[in-house]
Amino acid sequence: MWPRSADWLYTGLDPRLSRYNEDNFQFYLVRMLERITLCMEEHIGLDLDDDKRLLPALLLFNPIEDPLWSDLGSSDGIGFTEHARNTLKDAQELLVNYVELKSTDPERAKKVYEFAVETVSALPRPASTLLNPAIDEGPDKLATTVSHLIEFYTQGLIEARRWRGNARAKKLAVRLRAITEYYTDHPVRVGKDSRIPSGAYVECLYSLFEVIGLQAHFFRYALFAKNIPSNHPELKKSFEALRSL
């Protein structure tokens, strides 16, 4: 069961500043899910049993599958995702070089491997969450993880660019619409005032952008989510995910 309140246990820490505890990613994730859930409970009246209370928040904040580079600002992350992929490709070349050298020039191979580790160690979360354990396991595991991340970020960039804009903000708005319609009786209304959030759904979206640290104009993305048809692929996928929780 998830802890009822990570805020009660660790007061005064901004969850957007993930560098405060690099060794405790699980706490960072749980605390973000807690803050997101509190937003939904306050604004749209989400009310689930303790064993499922934080699960809908995973649809809105999953830093492994849907990365937001929270250590580096609050954009949608496309630019740094591309940088991270290129950094990983550099490391991949070094790891190939390491394999070629280790039987003929062990000393040089060791230096090449150390440089590969130094290269990937420069990447923050969520990449470091997967890379650090791989480094501990050794060259073979690191090479496998680097290869998987390159493919993952490449596919992520393709998908993000299909959205034509801030993919992170659009997906979050659509997924919040699904949560609102699935769990509550609140209609998904946007209103006409683009400066002040009005209505349960819009107020919740505005608060979620604040909590996650995503700089995006609430009105634009609320309007986008409201106007998409019920058979929109992202909306359908969100309902399927909620039914599986």
Cβ proximity of 120 and 146 under 8 Å: yes
Cβ proximity of 24 and 217 under 8 Å: no
In this predicted structure, what is the pLDDT of residue 127? 85
In this predicted structure, what is the pLDDT of residue 196? 81
Cβ proximity of 70 and 213 under 8 Å: yes
Residues 36-80: tens digit of each pLDDT: 999 999 999 999 998 899 999 999 987 766 656 655 555 566 788
Give the other-Cβ count within 10 Å of 147's Cβ.
14
In this predicted structure, what is the pLDDT of residue 68? 60
Q: What angle do CA 21, 26, 28 make, to 5 degrees?
A: 50
Q: Is the dihedral of CA 133, 2, 212, 164 positive or negative?
A: positive
List the pLDDT tens digit at each of the 245 positions of the chain.
Answer: 233 333 443 444 444 444 444 456 677 778 888 889 999 999 999 999 988 999 999 999 877 666 566 555 555 667 888 889 999 999 999 999 999 999 999 999 999 999 999 999 988 877 888 899 999 999 999 999 999 999 999 988 888 788 877 888 899 999 999 999 999 998 898 877 778 888 899 999 999 988 887 778 899 999 999 999 999 999 999 999 999 98
In this predicted structure, what is the pLDDT of residue 75? 57
Cβ proximity of 238 and 176 under 8 Å: no
In this predicted structure, what is the pLDDT of residue 98? 97
Pick left, alpha or beta for residue 77 (phi over 0 → left; psi -120 to 50 → alpha; otherwise beta): left
In this predicted structure, what is the pLDDT of residue 67? 59
**pTM given for the model:** 0.77
In this predicted structure, what is the pLDDT of residue 192? 78
